[in-house]
Structures are given as structure tokens and as C-alpha cells.
Amino acid sequence: MSFPQIRMRRLRSSATMRRMVRETSLSVNDLVYPLFIRAGEGLKKPIASMTECFHFSPDLIADEAAEITSLGIPAVLLFGLPHKKDEHGSEAWSEEGPVQQAIRQIKKRTPDLLVITDVCLCEYTSTGHCGVIKDDARSQRGMGFQPLNRRQDADAAGASSPKVDNDATLELLAKMALSHAQAGADIVAPSDMMDGRVRAIRDVLERNGFKDVVILSYAAKFASAFYGPFRDAAESAPAFGDRKSYQMDSANPREAIREIELDIEEGADMVMVKPALPYLDVIRRARERFDCPLAAYNVSGEYMMLNAAADAGLIDRDAAMMEVLTSIKRAGADIILTYFAKKAARLLGQM
């Protein structure tokens, strides 16, 4: 049977009809809002590279958390910018670190808001890398390696991947995750891409009585050109080299599935694909293969591309935003981490 008996447009005839037969529904419950916490006091400073995003000091984060809660957004993701950095990122597990202070302030004001913490050393190390650099790699800085501009891609500078000591980094990541749990975090999210980090974190949480703390693993995190605005915001660009020896090759979807499988076996409760838009196929493969909650990160470069086009008058900002977020949900993500979360929540509340 075909036209005219079948007319596909019948099911598109009105807004109510389209709503009734809609196959994918985006909800405020799907959203997580990332926040940048900078050491200090009395600080709410716009981030130049990211529209409508701010650096907050821990003492001012509670008001932002209250607004996020009022919008119905269930969770925030915290990134920290410390007072000082060193080669091991030792401020990452300080009891008085910006993230640890922010967790306590948020939980005091909005106890039901879920707090997710990024577990990675890149914001805390003087090298800007996600782990401890081996001695021979550190010496390369005296052999022509120059710090990169925070917005500059390492590849464009002709830099190479340094040697990150995977196993030495695991203990530090576990200490960082434990300090977040002790401060009151609900979910810790390792984003470093070291092998074995989920098991190391799960083991230390179990040994210290934090058996109910959830691990959301950045299981398939690709070495992407779309992180530029974030690296500026988090002051986490590599001082030399790139991250391709630990973050994933963008051409490898089968490897991504293997990474996800290994992290689930090590004790991850939820897994993530990052970035989202260039890797919708990976999200779909992961959804078809695994039954655990699946997150996707609508990263800073994706966010700012849309904003730049909207600012130039080329697209409708709100319509494009909702289309992008729906595409991520349609691909199979249960959870979407996005800087659009507040704006999307307001629009969803009007529907």
C-alpha cells in the first residue's frame, strides 16, 4: 500500500499530533550543568571564551546551585581551578581545595542537588597534563617545547605526545576521588583516560566506606579539537605536547566500545562518550551494547560554535540548541552534560 492511502504528513498535521507521536522526548531530568570553581572569595567572573559561563568562588556557588535546583536540573558537574599548581597536581586532593569547598557549600544549601566532580589532574598540574609526566618527557621542555596558548590546538604547533606515567597517576586520581567523596560528592567522574583508574577509584572508595558513591566514567573520551574554549576556561591546556597518547583516536569506534566495556567491568556505574556531536555513532553503538546509564558531553567547542552562528544571525539559537540536544538523546544518551542546561530547562518548562 502506498500513496494516497499512506500519507506520512497526516501524523505531522498539528503541534498536538506531533507531540503525541514524538519518538524522542527531551526532559530537564536528562541535563547536567557544568560549573567552574576558582579558588578565592567573592568571585563571579564571566569566562571570555564561553558565553554565559562564569568562574565562581566556593563562597558564591550556593546561590547558583539554588537557581539550578529551581529549574529542575538534577545535577551539576564541578571543575576546579586551584591557587597553585605543581607537577603532581597536589592541590587536587586538598581538603580546602575549591571543589571540596564548593561541594560542602552546595550540599548545605541544596542537599538534593546531585554533585558530580571531575576527577582529573589537568587543571592542577603545572604541565597541564592529566597525569604524572615521566622524567624523560619533562626534560623535553628544555629541548624546544614551548607552552601553548590556551586556545591553541597542540597539533597545530607540531607538538608530540609526552609520556604520562599511567600507574603512578592512578594513586593520585584515587586520592582526588576520595577527597571529593569525603566532602560530600554523590558522583565522581574520572576523565583522565588512564588505564585502570576506575578500579583504583572503586577500591579506595570501598576501603574508606564510600560504597554508595557512584562512578561516572569518561569511558570513551576522544582527543578532540572541540575542547578549546574549555581549556581556556579551566586553564588546563598542555604546557607542552598533546594528549593523544592517552585520549582516544577519533577514528576508532570499536576501541571506544572496548574502553567502555573495561570500565564497566572495573566498577563504573555510568559511562560517558565525549564529545557528543562528532561521536553520535559511538553513542548509538554504546546504547545498543550496554544497559547501564549512558552520558554524553556536549562540549565547549560544540556549545560555542552554535553560539557564534547565532550571534552572527545565521541560526535561531534556541531552536538549534533544542535540535542538538534532541539529537544526542535520540542517539541513545540518557544524560546530557551541557552548558545549555539552564537555557534548555527554561524552554522545556514552557512546553
Strands 335-338 and 44-46: unpaired
Q: Is residue 45 part of a domain?
A: yes
Residue 65 belongs to a domain: yes
Exposure letters 31-40 (e unless 16+ CB within 10 A, then b)? bbbbbbbbbb
**Comparing C-alpha atoms, which of 67, 56, 75 is closest to residue 189?**
75
pLDDT score at 159: 52
Q: Which residues of 81-103 are buried (b: 16+ CB within 10 A; e: fewer)?
A: bbeebeebbbbbbbeebbbbbbb
pLDDT at 93: 97
| Cα distance between residue 231 and residue 47, in whole Å | 11
6 inside domain: no
Confirm whether 71 is domain-assigned: yes
Answer whether residue 5 is part of any domain. no
**Using only C-alpha atoms, what is the Rg of the chain?**
21
Question: CATH number, domain at 121?
Answer: 3.20.20.70
State residue 140's pLDDT score: 41
Residue 4 lies in a domain: no
Q: What pTM did the predictor assign?
A: 0.92
- The pLDDT of residue 160 is 66
Tell me the pLDDT tens digit for each residue of 185-233: 999 999 999 999 999 999 999 999 999 999 999 999 999 999 999 999 9
For residue 10, being part of any structural domain is answered with no
Number of domains in the chain: 1
**Active site positions, annotated:** 221, 274
Handedness of CA 348, 102, 184, 182 (dihedral sign): positive
Q: Which domain holds residue 237?
A: 25-350
Residue given cell 576522544 in the structure block: 222
265 domain residue, yes or no: yes
- For residue range 45-74, list pLDDT tens digits in order: 999 999 999 999 999 999 999 999 999 999
pLDDT by 10-residue block (mean), the chain, 351 residues: 94 96 97 98 97 98 98 98 95 97 98 98 94 65 37 45 91 98 98 97 98 98 97 91 94 98 98 98 98 98 98 98 98 98 96 80
For 160-180, what is each residue's pLDDT tens digit?
A: 678 899 999 999 999 999 999
The answer to whether the beta carbons of residues 263 and 295 sit under 8 Å apart is no
